Amino acid sequence: MTLPAFHAPTPTDMRRSMGRFTTGVAVVSADDGDGNPSAMTISSLTSISLDPAILLVSLTHGSRTTEAVEAAGSFAVSVLGSRQEALARRFATRGGARFDDLPCDRSRSGLPLIKDALAQLECRVHSAHDIGDHRVFYGEVTDMRCREGTGLVFYSGRFGDFHDFGHDEVPWLF
């Protein structure tokens, strides 16, 4: 198989290329300060530091959730399990009252969290930067909990789950 020639990336090319990288799926939520919850589905989530615990989320400029995180200075992350595709789709659409009739958990400070998520983390904004068409937030994790389960993954525009090859767990070297 011959690869195509190199060329400057278009937004469509970039989406297609990065779609080849399997990611987990999470929902970032915040409160706008007036008691109105806002949230969006993301796959741009990564751990930056273990001590102190800091993670990174990248949110689209101009979204209600981005504005709520910016205003509040805090946000929550719910890492979705493999049976939560419907929730990932619900929070991936623009507009609407996505929390209507949705039972949620709440963080200790009251941020909305997706019920039965594999991990729920509350973060204080450590810093933020505008990069391209996104605002990148570094969040210091102030509270968290997690449970066992299989994560929801996203690959090439499709949702799926992780299948273990049956190997021993890889030990972390720290």
Map out the domains of the chain with their CATH numbers: 39-156 (2.30.110.10)
pTM here is 0.90
Query: Residue 96 is which amino acid?
Result: G
Walk along the chain (174 residues) in steps of 10 and give the mean pLDDT of each run. Answer: 86 86 93 87 95 96 93 96 96 84 91 96 97 96 96 92 81 63
**Which residues are registered as beta bridge partners of 139?**
55, 125
